[in-house]
Amino acid sequence: MHRLILALALALAACVAAPQIAGFRPASAPIWSSAAFLPAKIEGSWTQAATFSAGKGPGCALGGLRFARTGAGLAVQGKLCLNGKMQRIAGVMRPSGPGRMTLPGMAEWWVIWVDADYRTLAIGTPDGSFGFILDRGKIGADRLRAAAEIFTFNGYAKGRLFAY
C-alpha cells in the first residue's frame, strides 16, 4: 500500500509544471537594475570578462565594446560573445529606466551591478536571453566573484557563467 501511495505521489509530482526558462534565468524571477548607474561614466573601451553560455564553455573568443556619448545618446560599437555566438553590436543606446538601456534589435540591457569605480559592469536581461560582464582591463577575482553573485541573486543559472 505504501508503494502505491509513493508511486501516485511521484506521478502527481511529475505533472507539476517546472518554471519555463527561455534563456539563462526564468523570466518570472525577480530582477533589479542599478538605480544609481550613470551612463556617462561608461564611456571608453571595455573588454568582455565573462558570458553566459549553454555549452561547456563560452563558445567563442572574448569580445569588447566601446561606448561614446553622442547627441543622440550613448553610441556603442564592438562584438560580444553571447551564448556561444559572436555578435556585432552597434547602435545608439537610450535609457529606458534606472540602470536600463535599449539598443534597437536586442533585448533590453539592465545594469545589475557596477563597482564603485566603474571598472566592472554586469549586464543582464529581464528575459534571461543573455548576460555578460565587461571590465576596463583585467578583471580582479573579487569583482568577478561579486558580479557572479549578483547574477545568481537575479535568478541566473549558476554554473552557466564562463570567465575568460
The pTM (predicted TM-score) of the whole model is: 0.86
Count how many domains the chain has.
1
Residue 108's closest CA among 130, 75, 76, 133? Answer: 130
Q: What is the pLDDT of residue 22?
A: 54
| Residue ranges in the chain modelled with pLDDT below 50 | 1-21
Q: What is the pLDDT of residue 91?
A: 97
Residue 1 lies in a domain: no
Q: What is the pLDDT of residue 11?
A: 41
Residue 57 lies in a domain: yes
Full domain range(s) for residue 118: 33-157
Residue 143's closest CA among 51, 57, 49? Answer: 49
Residue 164 lies in a domain: no
CATH number at residue 76: 2.40.128.20
Residue 99 lies in a domain: yes
Residue 39 lies in a domain: yes
Distance CA 104, CA 131 (A): 17
Task: Give the alpha-carbon dihedral of 114, 117, 37, 100, to 10 degrees.
Answer: -40
Residue 2 lies in a domain: no
Residue 18 lies in a domain: no
φ/ψ (deg, to 5) at 156: -70, 150
Residue 79 lies in a domain: yes
